[in-house]
Structure 1
């Protein structure tokens, strides 16, 4: 029977109880090794913010298609803005049944990071019912999630027997991209996927999902899909391929997909944390013996992301694990 990713109380990170903090570190370590996924509660995100950003997603996708296309991510090279339905394909055809809107941190004109990987000036559709409200909510969400990501990385450092602030320089001026996503309802069965089986390619992802369900994570021990059902107040955290590479494959970047059979529209907001573009990712010292060779050569964040983006939109598969999934589900 498939085992779903655990729900972990993140509250001890903000407290003073040493034993509870140690238990949190151990729970996260086990989740990273076993699933590459976990959900966190008591993360101190303002209680009004999740619904506020989901409402903005509902409003932006309610705009007419010809309006949304004015803000297409294909108009300029930094990949920000609207992504039409079925623009992306993971695995087999048909293409993914979702539409999205990409947003980065809000930069002032002339900022030195503008023009780096997927970083630039955001598009704020003037046709929104409250464009100022959309902009302020998006930017507030981006700031809060970046802070939470730093907290999560500080726990991850401890799971790897590193000093708590070991990842701080990686998180400084990080390439953080959020996507507002809408999944139309789809019939049960058949080959339709809201998003096909894939792994994320950055450092980690923090996902807000609404209450419709549909997210599934591959359980490698049972060779089955496990439902990551929505938990009130929880956020889903998963590791990306960069983290798996960084830990010399000690931690898992796991396959996941979305099948929206709720009969309702599904909305979610993934926040992708990929690190400072100039940061050099090389095997973490605690993830190999002193005499052991690293499995992967060093690479900068930006070099890694550019190559993975080309793979993703070129329809390239996700390796041996995807073959395992295909053989188990056909």
Structure 2
């Protein structure tokens, strides 16, 4: 179990794929301890190829190197309503009382056609991806191929992690399979300019302190640090140092609801004061949008009822989006500046 004041440990996930029962049990025990302690751990020994990790990170940097004008051609707020494409700097406020966040993003999901039932029924984050045109990005087809291959590989890994989580909760390994069938997951390419030297340190965030809305998140970091996890026992923020090839894994609010607060969906944030550009790629695994999440029977202590009402995946995740984007919009209205003006201003500062 990670000690008080210690950053999330790095676990060798290859034990899950081995025939060594004792090594697999140790992995399960270690993951359980992390879930009880602060809801974060890192994994190596997974099946996502290192070269694929490097390739998608290279594309992450290439995309954000495009001009603001070119990125705006796939602006998610003007080209679609299903959360695909480019997101300007200062679009979210996840931590109440801070400034709009110093990050820009590019949303990617499962590549589905307009005729897909999820898109027709306007399900959570479901619709065709938005890609730059070949005139803007001549090698866009390679970008698409790399991004979708990476997305598929990481969502497969998420399903394997769910199998381990089932075992940590004394459930059959296949317990989450129905929930993971037809699952929605969202990948975000992220770019964090370094915070300007004159920015107010207590108000400026790459991402403000928050918990994730979905079930589990798998994060690929580049070489520049900035991610911090709150350790409640030590009452301090811990740096999560980037480790080549590793994924940072954390539980989201849905897993906390499922476990009746036995497991922790923990506060984390990004503060980039490195003087360098930071890049990362989280994949948020939400689950089947219609699946109803309710307290697991074996997570109720004696004499204790369920702390949360049953809720669908879609309703829970959309509630989180509404809160965080709503804060940013209110801030901009009060400050008297529009979305495009705010984004352009930050690009100039960076």
Q: Same fold (TM over 0.5)?
A: yes
Q: Does 1:16 align with 2:19?
A: yes
Deviation at 1:256, TM superposition (A): 0.5
Give SS of 1:48's match.
helix
Deviations 1:239-268 (A, max 9, x none): 001111110000000000111122211100
* Runs of 4+ off more than 4 Å: none
Which residue number corresponds to residue 322 of structure 2?
A: 310
Give SS of 1:70's match.
helix
Counterpart among 183, 196, 201 of residue 190 in structure 1 = 201
TM-score by length of 1: 0.93
Does the 8 A contact of 1:83 with 1:99 survive in 2?
yes
- List alignment gaps of at least 5 residues for structure 2: 329-350
- After TM superposition, list the pairs within 5 Å mapping 1:96-135 onto structure 2: 96-114=101-119, 115-126=122-133, 127-135=136-144
Deviation at 1:164, TM superposition (A): 0.1
Which residue number corresponds to residue 92 of structure 2?
A: 88
Give SS of 2:322's match.
helix
Q: Does 1:264 align with 2:258?
A: no
Which residue number corresponds to residue 328 of structure 1?
A: none
Counterpart among 207, 211, 232 of residue 223 in structure 2 = 211
Higher mean C-alpha deviation, range 263-272 or range 307-316: 307-316
Give SS of 1:137's match.
helix
Give SS of 1:314's match.
helix
Which residue number corresponds to residue 145 of structure 1?
A: 154
Give SS of 2:74's match.
coil
Deviation at 1:290, TM superposition (A): 7.0
Higher mean C-alpha deviation, range 107-116 or range 142-151: 107-116
Counterpart among 158, 170, 185 of residue 161 in structure 1 = 170
Which residue number corresponds to residue 34 of structure 1?
A: 37
Q: Does 1:179 align with 2:188?
A: yes
More helix per residue: 2
Deviation at 1:108, TM superposition (A): 2.7
- List alignment gaps of at least 5 residues for structure 1: 317-330
Give SS of 2:77's match.
coil
Aligned residues: 316
Does the 8 A contact of 2:228 with 2:239 survive in 1?
yes
Deviation at 1:109, TM superposition (A): 3.4
Give SS of 1:294's match.
coil
Deviation at 1:157, TM superposition (A): 0.1
Counterpart among 279, 293, 296 of residue 281 in structure 1 = 293
TM-score by length of 2: 0.87
Structure 1 residues 2 and 291, CA, compared in 2 at 3 Å: closer, same or farther?
closer
Deviation at 1:63, TM superposition (A): 1.1
